[in-house]
Structures are given as structure tokens and as C-alpha cells.
């Protein structure tokens, strides 16, 4: 198959039962297939797959390796086999797809060989009457493509901290962005190999931002393709209020900057911005304490401690962990024309040999928390003007 749609599952049996049928139907007649990599679920997910979906290939993992470790292992397996896919799709188990979601993404990548990845618009799916209802509101995880502010806080076209926007066609043109949500992300297999997969230190959350940023530093582009739209429930594995999720977000936000910021703005500016980010995190911990949310304050404390422990550890999978034949070229992408020239230069996340910072798209010189607090609902108009200007 040319495109492998890979769902990484951990104890989401009910979502598989509900959302796999429309996914399988959407791929009929396409050179694509579904693979479920299971992170040692204990809720009967594997039994469900065997009984109801025997046509779906299952990759059973021996333990919960997290989002990063699970996908790294699943993709290494697929890319090490004969006839390895040219494109890989990361797809959450709580995504509902329409009939025509995949073709626009593959067509875009075929027509634009300088793109490492692309994704659809994400709309919110909400529970209603024992089932789920599609909405026209952007979904928090990725909306219409992801961005970062000057201190590394993620936001999106159509989503800022605490707010989402209705989709009225305002983002219906393809656009380069810094990142696309891994809730539904199509990546070029050759680029996945070159970058070494996801940074395993992240475990879960913000790992796709890091991967997309590293891809841009290596000379690739990342984009959102609005002709494709899917619906995302969100919070299928970790609840939004989970202290563990909060810790991952604070910790991984620092790892993200540590990996990529110096190569983007220069080492001196990067050190200053990371210092400010740490101060802002500490201020957030104080707010949690004053609000009687001790678990939130402890999550920030633990995040910073783990960040200090993880900084010096290698993040991407070592070559020893990837089968030798997984490093071969993907069929149909061997020609040099398929890879930007500068994608073969410096290691992603480091300064170029000339010492010139890279300029990836989607890293905006705004302070998103402050602007959102000051502008309220008008924040989206402000951000669209900013995008049009720069």
C-alpha cells in the first residue's frame, strides 16, 4: 500500500468500535490501508479488533511506549518491510473521517515534493444522545494549522489558549504553518527516516510540533490542506484536566525550545527566551497555588525537574533501534528532486555550518497569552491581520 493510516491505540476500545468503520469505508478503492498499533491495552481492544475487524492489521506492542515510542516502533516495522509505504498517517482513535478526507492530502504531497507533512482542518466532535455530532467549530488540538509564539506557547489558526473559532471559510486557502496536529498528520516516509522519527523523550504531547519544526530546520515545509477536514473528539487518552497531561505540556514545551530555538533565532536569543519561559511557568505555578490547585503547581515543578534530567539525553531513535532495511529509500521517492537540497545538510535542531539561524514558517513574534487576555474574541481578527502582514 502506498499510504499507511496508523492508529496508535491505548485502551480506547469503544472509539475503535465507533470510528473504525467509517475510516475503512473511506479508504475503499484507494492504495491505502489501516494499521492499529496497540500500546499493551487491557480494555479488550485487541479482542475487538480480532473479532470485528480481522481485515485490519494489528501491531501488538509489549508495553505502553507512549505516543512517541509507539509510533516510532510501528513506523520502523512498516518501513522495514518490502513495499514500504511512501506516506504515513498518524491518526487518533477518536477521529471521525468523511468519505473524501485522504485524497486531498495525498494529492498535495504528490504535487509538492518539498513538503515533509500536511494535515486537514480539525473540527470539533461532541457527544450527543449516546453518539457524536459534527460541528463547524475548530477543534482545540490543531484547528486550521499550528503556530508558536515567541516563548514557545502553541496556538493555531482558529484556536488560542481557552478559545476556539467557528469555521466560516476564513482559513480555506492552503497555508504553510509551523506544525500540524498529530491527531491527523500525513508525513512523507523519507522525511520520517531522515529525522529519526519522534523525539522519544516527549512520551506524549507536543512531539509533533518538535518533529515539524525539525523538518523545517532541515529544509522541508509543513502545510495545512483545507480541502480535507476531519472531526476530533479530543481527550480520548488523557483528560484535559489531568495533572500528568499538564506536566507533559510544561516539560515538553521546554524540550521543544531546547531542541530547536537556537537553530532558529540564534543561541543568545534562545537562552533569553527560554529563561523568560521558565519565569512564566513559575508564575503559572503560583497562580495554581493561589487558586487552590496544588496538583497544577506540583505538575509545573515536576515538569521543570524532568526537563533538567532529560536535556542531555538523546531524543530520536538510535540507528540501532531501526531495522537496517527501514533506512532504504521509499519506492517512488528515490530521486534527488524529491528532497530539498538543504534537507541533506546540518542535523535538524542545530546551527547551520554558516551559523545562520533558520527561519521556519509559523514562529510568530507575538505574546499569545497577553494578546488573548487583552483582546478577547477580537484576538482572531488580530491574528489574521498579523498573518496577512507577515
pLDDT of residue 316: 57
Count CB-CB contacts under 10 A for residue 161.
Answer: 15
Please state the pTM of the whole predicted model.
0.88
| Distance between CA atoms of residues 252 and 237, nearest Å | 18
pLDDT of residue 312: 76
Do residues 9 and 40 touch, judged by C-beta distance below 8 A? Answer: no
Do residues 94 and 8 touch, judged by C-beta distance below 8 A? Answer: no
| Distance between CA atoms of residues 67 and 14, nearest Å | 19
What are 311's strand-pairing partners? Answer: none
Do residues 123 and 136 touch, judged by C-beta distance below 8 A? Answer: yes
| Distance between CA atoms of residues 78 and 70, nearest Å | 12
What are 127's strand-pairing partners? Answer: 132
| Distance between CA atoms of residues 195 and 193, nearest Å | 6
Residue 347 host element (H or E): none
pLDDT of residue 239: 62
User: What class has domain 3-237+317-389?
Assistant: alpha beta
Domain boundaries, the chain: 3-237+317-389, 247-310
Beta strands in 169-287 (DSSP E): 175-176, 184-188, 221-232
Coil, strand or helix at 46? helix
DSSP 8-class letter at 318: P
Per-residue pLDDT of the chain (390 residues; tens, 9 = 90+): 999 999 999 999 999 999 999 999 999 999 999 999 999 999 999 999 999 999 999 999 999 999 999 999 999 999 999 999 999 999 999 999 999 999 999 999 999 999 999 999 999 999 999 999 999 999 999 999 999 999 999 999 999 999 999 999 999 999 999 999 999 999 999 999 999 999 999 999 999 999 999 999 999 999 999 999 999 998 655 566 789 999 999 999 999 999 999 999 999 999 999 999 999 999 999 999 999 999 999 999 999 999 999 997 776 543 333 333 333 333 333 333 333 333 333 333 333 333 446 689 999 999 999 999 999 999 999 999 999 998
Amino acid at each position: 500500500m502506498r499510504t499507511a493510516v496508523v492508529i496508535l491505540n491505548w485502551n480506547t476500545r469503544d472509539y475503535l468500535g465507533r470510528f473504525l468503520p467509517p475510516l475503512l469505508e473511506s479508504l475503499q478503492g484507494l492504495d491505502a490501508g489501516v494499521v492499529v498499533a496497540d500500546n499493551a491495552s487491557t480494555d479488550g481492544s485487541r479482542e475487538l479488533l480480532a473479532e470485528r475487524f480481522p481485515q485490519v492489521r494489528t501491531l501488538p506492542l509489549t508495553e505502553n511506549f507512549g505516543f512517541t515510542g509507539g509510533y516510532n516502533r510501528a513506523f520502523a516495522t512498516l518501513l522495514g518491510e518490502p513495499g514500504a509505504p511512501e506516506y504515513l498517517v498518524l491518526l487518533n482513535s477518536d477521529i471521525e473521517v468523511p468519505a473524501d478526507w485522504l485524497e486531498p492530502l495525498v494529492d498535495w504531497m504528490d504535487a509538492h515534493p518539498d513538503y515533509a507533512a500536511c494535515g486537514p482542518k480539525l473540527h470539533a466532535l461532541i457527544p450527543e444522545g449516546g453518539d457524536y455530532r459534527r460541528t463547524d467549530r475548530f477543534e482545540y488540538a490543531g484547528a486550521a494549522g499550528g503556530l508558536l509564539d515567541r516563548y514557545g506557547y502553541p496556538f493555531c489558526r482558529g484556536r488560542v489558549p481557552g478559545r476556539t473559532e467557528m469555521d466560516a471559510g476564513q482559513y480555506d486557502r492552503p497555508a504553510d504553518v509551523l506544525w500540524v496536529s498529530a491527531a491527523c498528520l500525513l508525513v512523507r516516509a523519507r522525511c520520517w527516516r531522515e529525522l529519526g522519527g519522534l523525539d522519544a523523550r516527549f512520551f506524549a504531547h507536543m512531539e509533533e510540533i518538535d518533529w515539524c519544526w525539525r523538518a523545517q530546520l532541515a529544509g522541508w515545509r509543513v502545510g495545512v490542506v483545507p480541502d480535507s477536514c476531519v472531526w476530533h473528539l479530543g481527550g480520548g487518552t488523557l483528560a484535559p484536566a489531568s495533572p500528568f497531561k499538564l506536566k507533559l505540556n510544561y516539560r515538553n514545551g521546554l524540550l521543544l525550545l531546547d531542541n530547536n530555538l537556537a537553530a532558529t533565532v540564534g543561541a543568545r536569543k534562545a537562552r533569553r527566551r527560554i529563561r523568560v519561559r521558565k519565569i512564566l511557568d513559575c508564575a503559572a505555578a503560583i497562580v495554581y497555588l493561589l487558586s487552590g490547585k496544588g496538583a497544577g503547581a506540583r505538575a509545573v515543578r515536576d515538569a521543570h525537574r524532568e526537563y533538567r534530567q532529560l536535556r542531555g539525553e538523546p531524543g530520536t531513535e538510535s540507528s540501532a533501534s531501526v531495522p537496517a532495511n527501514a533506512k532504504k529509500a521509499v519506492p517512488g521517492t528515490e530521486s534527488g528532486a524529491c528532497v530539498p537540497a538543504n534537507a541533506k545538510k546540518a542535523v535538524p535542531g542545530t546551527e547551520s555550518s554558516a551559523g545562520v539561524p533558520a527561519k521556519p514558517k509559523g514562529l510568530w513574534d507575538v505574546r499569545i497569552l497577553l494578546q488573548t487576555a487583552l483582546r478577547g474574541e477580537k484576538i482572531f481578527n488580530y491574528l489574521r491581520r498579523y498573518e496577512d502582514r507577515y
